[in-house]
């Protein structure tokens, strides 16, 4: 049995800005728990399962495949926070 789950969370909150953090989580952690563990205030709604996460145009993926916040990531996963694509005006 694994004592911890290691994942990486990456996010680009705005153009030309990238955040990344490597985390160690309990084995039963969810994608939402991983987002909460980042400490990034903009992702707090994800940890609560709050509809504000999706309302803000955010979603989660793992290795470019959509992931539900309640899903459990695997060790070594990269969890990506995605924002809506905005075409310049």
Q: Decide if 69 is inside a domain.
A: yes
Residue 88 lies in a domain: no
Give the domain range for residue 41.
5-83
Instruction: Judge whether 47 lies within some domain.
Output: yes
Domain containing residue 55: CATH number: 3.10.20.30
Please check whether residue 89 lies inside any domain of the structure.
Answer: no
Q: Is residue 13 part of a domain?
A: yes
pLDDT tens for the chain, 89 residues long, are 558 999 999 999 888 999 999 999 999 999 999 999 999 988 887 767 767 788 888 899 998 899 999 999 999 999 999 987 767 66
* 32 φ/ψ angles, rounded to the nearest 5 degrees: -60, -40
Note the pLDDT of residue 34.
Answer: 95
The number of folded domains in the chain is 1
**Considering the domain boundaries, does residue 78 fall inside one?**
yes
77 part of a folded domain: yes
> What SS3 class is residue 72?
coil
SS3 of residue 79 by DSSP: strand
């Amino acid at each position: 049995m694994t004592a911890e789950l290691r994942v990486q969370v990456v996010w680009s909150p705005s153009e030309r800005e990238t955040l990344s953090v490597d985390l160690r989580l309990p084995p039963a952690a969810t994608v939402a728990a991983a987002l909460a563990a980042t400490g990034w205030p903009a992702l707090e709604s994800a940890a609560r399962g709050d509809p504000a996460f999706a309302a803000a145009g955010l979603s989660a993926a793992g290795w470019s495949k959509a992931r539900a916040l309640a899903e459990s990531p695997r060790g070594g996963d990269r969890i990506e926070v995605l924002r809506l694509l905005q075409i310049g005006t």
